[in-house]
Amino acid sequence: MSNNQITSLTRRRFLTRGAVAASALALPYYIPASALGRDGTVAPSERIVMGGIGLGGRGSYDLSCMLGERGVQWVAVCDALKGRREAAKQMVDRKQDNKDCVPYADMRELLTERADVDAVLIATGDRWHALASILAMRAGKDVYCEKPACLTMAEAQLVVEAARQYGRVYQTGAQRLSEPHHVFAIEMARTGRLGQIHTAYADIRWRDGMRRDWLPEEPEPAKDELDWDVWLGPCPWRPYNSAYVNGGGWYHYHDFATDVAMWGAHTVAQALAGLDMTNVSFIEFEYEGPDATMVTHLSNGVRLVLFRTTGSVWDPCKFWHGACGERFDGPEGWVAAADDYSGPDVSSPVLLRDYDKVLSDYKSRTQRPLNHLRDFFDCVRSRRPTVANPEVMCRSMNICLAADICEQLKRSLKFDLRKAEFVGDSEANRMRSRAMRPPFVA
């Protein structure tokens, strides 16, 4: 091509592009209102981009609730089971009216490949909760993690350190810390309306007979259907058996779960929230036999009773009716709350007169909604700690796990809350951690 031809071609391109640009300026330019955050929508730059990890059972429920939150966009879902991740993708696609959500079989791929994800929901089986949270925060994601948040005290501390090191927002799924009746009971204790609290109670629903054996081997499914190695994650290797996977059978095996912490992850956190824990340095656990309720003593003089529910969790008891209850006793009366209450239980109707004011004062003081998921999303935007932040999780889980160890060793123990170690008991201290199976390590 000659120099004249090149010059002519260059001029034509310039003139053509100029004409196109001019015509574009002349035509009306349409931008969807949703792209600008109008008509009640949230602009893309203000949306929280989410991924979900572990989306069967409770995870599916959490996902359905989070999909209803304004200003949240879902782009990725992950589950080791193909059927669950496909069902989760369909749920997201239907709600968002597109097919943009990408399914993953391995959370490590989601965490490393999706730089656009701001935060993740973690609702795997218990064995994965702590490690998945740590890996997510290390990858720059904020975390909403279902309870119990860890299997061991060592894992709890690693979660605290990861949130601090990487500057991430973390909320554990102790949602009753954000529910009105529970908040009322907690605030009645915390603000002194009952006088100086001398006894607090937490519903434990202790599970007798956690199994320490394992099931016989069955042929593994195709890896695309279920990656058994990834499903197991950091817990000990066990041969595949469908009973672990179907219907939450893993829940009854020590390899994959905890005992007291399964229920106490809620209720101990609720009880502690109503107490002044700032000067509490240790807690003593009284072991009185395998079927006895466990009485503990905080160093500030408060008795914390870990009440062992008998029979169905919905059977009436003298402290509350229903499940996941807490109660506070003081010289001016007592207050209790549990699930499905029409209102808190109180020693006198007089204590309910300020119900609305107590909740209003709480919201004004804390600037928190009475909605656990919304508290998480608000904190993702504001970067302040959540109501169930890592320190709250760690303290309540340590008490639950210490009670577990006390039960296993069948003796009374003293636990230093600040050092997170048992006083003068090396055997108990060795039980504060479990080995993680490589390569699934923190």
Condensed to tens digits (0 to 9), the pLDDT of residues 340-392 reads: 889 999 999 999 999 999 999 999 999 999 999 999 999 999 999 999 999 99
The CATH superfamily assigned to 35-172 is NAD(P)-binding Rossmann-like Domain (3.40.50.720)
Cβ–Cβ < 8 Å for 207, 259: yes
R_g over Cα of the chain: 26
All residue ranges of the chain with pLDDT < 50 are 1-36
* Range 175-209+258-430: architecture per CATH: 2-Layer Sandwich (3.30)
Do the domains 35-172 and 175-209+258-430 sit in the same CATH topology, yes or no? no
Q: What is the DSSP string of 370-433?
A: S-HHHHHHHHHHH-PPPTT-HHHHHHHHHHHHHHHHHHHHTS-EEEETTTTEETT-HHHHHTT-
Up-side HSE of residue 186: CA atoms within 13 Å toward CB? 24
Q: In one letter, which amino acid is 346?
A: V
Residue 328: which H helix or E strand, with range? Answer: strand 326-330
Alpha helices in 246-287 (DSSP H): 260-273
Strand order in the sheet with 345-346: 345-346, 333-337, 326-330, 199-203, 303-307, 294-298, 282-286, 413-416, 421-422
* DSSP 8-class letter at 321: S
C-beta separation of 155 from 318 below 8 A: no
pLDDT tens digits, 198-257: 999 999 876 666 899 999 999 999 999 999 999 999 999 999 999 999 988 998 999 999
Q: Pairing state of beta strands 170-172 and 142-145?
A: parallel
Report pLDDT for 207: 60
In angstroms, the CA 217 to CA 207 distance is: 25
The angle formed by the CA atoms of residues 337, 201 and 284, to the nearest 5 degrees, is: 155
> Shortest CA distance to 369 belongs to which of 205, 240, 208, 180?
180
How is the chain split into domains, by residue range? 35-172, 175-209+258-430
pLDDT at 174: 97
Beta-sheet strands, E only, within 64-203: 72-78, 102-104, 119-122, 142-145, 170-172, 199-203
pTM above 0.85, yes or no: yes
In sequence order, what are the beta bridge partners of 306? 202, 294
40 Ramachandran zone, left/alpha/beta (phi>0; psi -120 to 50): left
